Amino acid sequence: MANGAMGFLEPMTKKHFYDVLSGIPNFVDPSVEAWTEEEIDEIRKGNWIERNWKSQTGQMQYKSKRTEFCQAMAASDGTILDVASGPGGGSTPGIVYFNSHAKVLMNDLGVKVLKEWQAYLRKNSMGPNVCFAAFDATNVPIRSQAFDIVTSFGGFSNILGTGKAIYETFRVLKKGGTLFMSDGKVYKDDFHQFPKEVQQKWKVLFPALVNGYRNILEDAGFSVTSYEEVSLGAISPDESDLGKTAQKHGVTLRLVSCYIQAEKP
């Protein structure tokens, strides 16, 4: 899919200018770039990209909902948008594990981490049809009905404006297209142990944190065809700001992973 990202982007951006760094279209202003040079250095020193690739592809050998999703996406001949791939790689490692020639556009709010994925895949001659574009998932610079599949593995819960990102996902999907996502929520009883002002802050930042994603998806126009929740245990303070907040207030916050398949009618 050489220059595949350019093909998707051109119809909406031909009147606009954007940087292209190492062949990656970059719509992210440096002031909101998601990754600092220090963080990228840590990713390199820790060999995160290779480690995450091996970890994720290793998991594909075992039966799970995530494996099932990746197999279904890999079986498609269509084009796939992987939202907020990050250093974990989103769903791309699993998709490429099952179909080395899958047509995937990896996205992130930072071009730096995408360049790390690009370098790793090229070095190892993997994913020849994987391309990259840096943009805000709440304002996607791609024409409507461009993709057969959109996926995100833990991406939406890291996006400020989850609802808007899901509306954009609906827009760029073709009619009859499918969203495969896995993301987190927490138990209400745990969350309600926070002071009221703390609860309000996190509800505003991440509206799906307690109630999940079904209502947001249906409001966007999706038909939810599969919704499965799996308990993952308590959130560590090392995992996120939410985990640090829970530790600060002496709250044990149990995480639930939601595996969701939804269709665009």
Q: Does the pTM of the predicted model rise above 0.75?
A: yes
Contact 253, 235 (CB under 8 A): yes
Domain span at residue 48 reads: 4-153
In a domain, 190, yes or no: no
Output the domain CATH number for residue 135: 3.40.50
In a domain, 124, yes or no: yes
Q: What is the tens place of the pLDDT at every residue in 95-105?
A: 999 999 999 99
**AA identity, residue 50:** E
In a domain, 205, yes or no: no
Q: What is the tens place of the pLDDT at every residue in 173-198?
A: 999 999 999 999 999 999 999 999 99
Count of structural domains within the chain:
1
Closest CA to 261 of 191, 180, 201: 180
Q: Encoding tokens for residue 125?
A: 């001659």
In a domain, 79, yes or no: yes
In a domain, 147, yes or no: yes
In a domain, 113, yes or no: yes
Q: Stretch 35-57: mean pLDDT, rounded?
A: 95
Sign of CA dihedral 33, 154, 117, 244: positive
